[in-house]
Amino acid sequence: MLKKALLIILIVGAGIQFIPVPINQSDEILKTDFFQIVEASLNIQQVVKASCYDCHSNNTNYPWYGRVRPFAWFLQKHIREGKEDLNFSDFQDYSGRMKREKIRSMISQVRDGEMPLQEYLWMHPEAKLSEKETEQLIQFFENLNTQ
């Protein structure tokens, strides 16, 4: 009985690998990308790309299990929802008012520790913002919104 159950799990596990999942990856840096339109130090760019771009841009740096179902489905859902709320790759396409609103929201979420998401940090400890990085990011975003 146990053997049979294991076999079924194995076959299902292998079977679901054939269900397609879209890949969120692109080599192209769009003209609309956030860092094509705002001036930022390399340090800030690195922090934002490492901590935000996986779910908030058109280019995800997938972990090794990122293409393995069912994990790939969870990632895909997070990425889809993340890009719906904020897509750094299309930042220029937002209206001026919407840009300011997105930046306001970034400040608030980073300040309150809501972003990067806790679940994301479990698997990406390197994306965790240090206190200093948090401060630098908030300062950077605040400067953008007062310009």
Partner 1 sequence: MKITLLTLGLAVLIASCGPTKTEEKAETKAEPIAKVEKTAAVEEQNGNALTPVLDAYLAVKDALVNDNQEGAAKAGGTLATALGSLDLSTFDSDKQAELKEIVEVAKNHGEHISESEIAHQREHFEALSKDIKDLAGIVGTDRTLYHQYCPMYNGNKGGMWLSANEEVRNPLFGSSMLKCGKVEEVIKL
Point out which residues bind partner 1 (CB under 8 A).
7-8, 11-12, 15-16, 18-19, 70, 73, 77, 80, 95-98, 101, 104, 108
Judged by CB, which is closer to partner 1: 46, or 142? 142
Residue 42: CB minimum distance to partner 1, A: 30
* Closest CB to partner 1 among residues 41, 65: 65
Work out how close the CB of 54 gets to partner 1 at its nearest, in angstroms, rounded to a whole number.
18
Taking the least distance from each CB to partner 1, the nearer of 45 and 109 is: 109
| Closest to 106 measured CA to CA, from 62, 73, 139 | 139
Please count the other Cβ atoms lying within 10 Å of the Cβ belonging to residue 105: 15
The CA-based angle 32-88-60, given to 5 degrees, is 115
How far, in Å, are 18, 71, 141 from residue 123 at the CA level?
Answer: 25, 12, 26
User: Toward partner 1, which CB reaches closer, 15 or 63?
Assistant: 15
CB of residue 19 to partner 1, shortest distance in Å: 5
Quote the least distance from Cβ 20 to partner 1, whole Å. Answer: 9
**CA atoms of 14 and 133, how far apart (whole Å):** 42
Q: What is the dihedral of CA 68, 59, 76, 114, to 10 degrees?
A: 120
